[in-house]
Structure formats: C-alpha cells, structure tokens
A = this chain, B = another copy of it.
C-alpha cells in the first residue's frame, strides 16, 4: 500500500544543473541550522549568474555567492555574520565607497524576520498578502514600498502586510529523507517547510537516506512531503560550517575565520579558489578538511526517546 513513485536521488551536481538557472530567485533556507553550503558551493562552481538570493539571514553562504559573482539582488531580513559581525563581501557590494571599479551595487529588498517568514507563508498558502503587526513607525516601509497596509474588514483599523514570495527554487537541508523525498527534521525548523511549499521547485539535501518505513514510523516528524520535492541529494556534512542538530556542531571557529578572510577581496577569492572551485564536490571538501576538526564537531548522543503510534487494523 505504499505510495512509492520511485527514487528522486541525484548528485548535487545534477540537481543544481537541472533546477537552478541563471536569473532564478533562489532560497537556500535554514536559520543558522541546516544551511546547505554544499548547494551554494555547487551553484558557484556551475557559475550561475544574475540570481536573486532570498534568505532570512544571508549568512556566510550568500557572502560567498555574492563574492563569486552569482547574485544581482538580495531579499533578506538580517544581514550579518551571526555572533561575529559583518558580511564583508556583501558590504563591498552595498556601500558605494567600498565598490570595486566595474562593480555595481547589489539590489536589496529588506524586511524584518516576521516579514520574511510571512512572505514565505503567503507564498506557500497561495495568499495575496500576509498580515502582521510590525513596521508601525519604522522607516522600513519607506525603504521598501512592498511593505504596505491593509484595512481590516472588521472596522478595527489597518495592519501591515507583506507580499508572497515564491522562489523558483528552494534548497533545504535536513537530517533525513527517503528516496522519494519525504523529509524529516528536528531542532530549529526555521522556515524550511514554508520556503519549500512556496517554491516552484525543491531540492532537499539530507545527512541520511532512510527507508520509507523509517519516515512512516513517525509521520508527525515529516516537514516536507516527497510530493513537492524535485530532487533528493544525499550529502553528509553538507551543511558545514552550519550544523545539523544531533549530527555535528556549528563550526563557530570558521565563522570567525571568515571575518578575517572576507575583509579583503583577494583573500576571499583565494579562499573560493581553494575551497570551492578546486574542490569538485562536497566529498572532496570533507576529505580536504582537518579530520580532527571534523571529529571535534560531533556531539555526544541525546536521544529523543520513542513514542507509540499504535497499530490499528
């Protein structure tokens, strides 16, 4: 009685080649947790151009993609290196005084966190807008004319609204999926589910491919069904230097190192050469990493425990 429709397993190279095109709006989501650096690096290697990059927090991955020349525009709500400071490559494309000769300013379209979440929710629910209580007396609506007001039909005044965001492709990382693309995740959920449902195409990248029976044993853990997933990529350690709850820790040292690397365009280019362009895939990236550093990121176990769904026949 399985609804199996066949495997969607692909390599990252094939998944990016098939589903990410020049000019696309791309959302590599994951709030601090489960950011698919592996997908971002493959997009850099495949030299995609003129992308609109949407993410609540562009994080290092969009700093790297901007440095590599993939982006024409950013849609975001918080533009920094979390816990460290600035995203220097992006600053060089957003501050006129820092712009290199021949470079143009990135377009920016910014919201608050709740606004970005609401944009994905509206996109996923096929709503023309998402209402929220924010922006009142802030300069954000003046800076972004897509933040508007809507009149309540119950006579209680106006509320703020953001428009739907429907990326051409959403790329989410998670702990596990089956080969059909039923994705399960725990820890910080960010807006992986909302971004995936809002997108026209979905690439799901996971630490582990599990049998469908594992998914079906705990259906409340599923955040995204295979129905909306176009490609499943098995990419262990694919979120580094971000992290995967229970699998590995955030590489905070790298987030600090990037601050130094990214302050100069030349050092940034050199890092991209060494760790992205000259690395064919994520397996090679891992092989190139210091093994002791990797080991140190593994947490000790903290099991959730099992619950009983009951067999009803």
Contact = CB atoms under 8 A, between A and B. Distances in A.
Given A131-B131, A306-B305, A307-B186, A148 B154 contact: yes
Given A246-B310, A247-B310, A304 B218 contact: yes
Given A127-B159, A246-B308, A309-B186, A303 B153 contact: no
A47 interface: no
Interface stretch (A10-18, A81-89, A294-302): A294-302
Interface string A130-159: 011100000000000000111111101101
A129 interface: yes
A175 B307 CA distance: 10
Contacts of A220: 186-187, 189, 221
Interface string A211-222: 000100110110
B309 A217 contact: no
Nearest to A223: B220
Given A299-B310, A306-B306, A311-B299, A154 B131 contact: no
Contact of A308 (B149, B217, B304): B304
A159 B304 CA distance: 42
Interface string A269-313: 000000000000000000000000000000111111111111110
Task: Determine how many copies of this chain the complex contains.
Answer: 2
A126 interface: yes
Given A152-B150, A187-B220, A307 B304 contact: yes
A186 B127 CA distance: 28
A96 interface: no
A131 to B, nearest CB: 6
A40 to B, nearest CB: 24
Residue among A148, A163, A304 with max Cβ neighbours from chain B (10 Å)? A304
Given A129-B153, A157-B128, A221 B307 contact: yes
Nearest to A128: B152
Contacts of A187: 220, 309
A132 to B, nearest CB: 8
Contacts of A126: 133
Contacts of A303: 217, 306-309
5 contacts: A189-B220, A217-B303, A246-B309, A300-B311, A303-B307
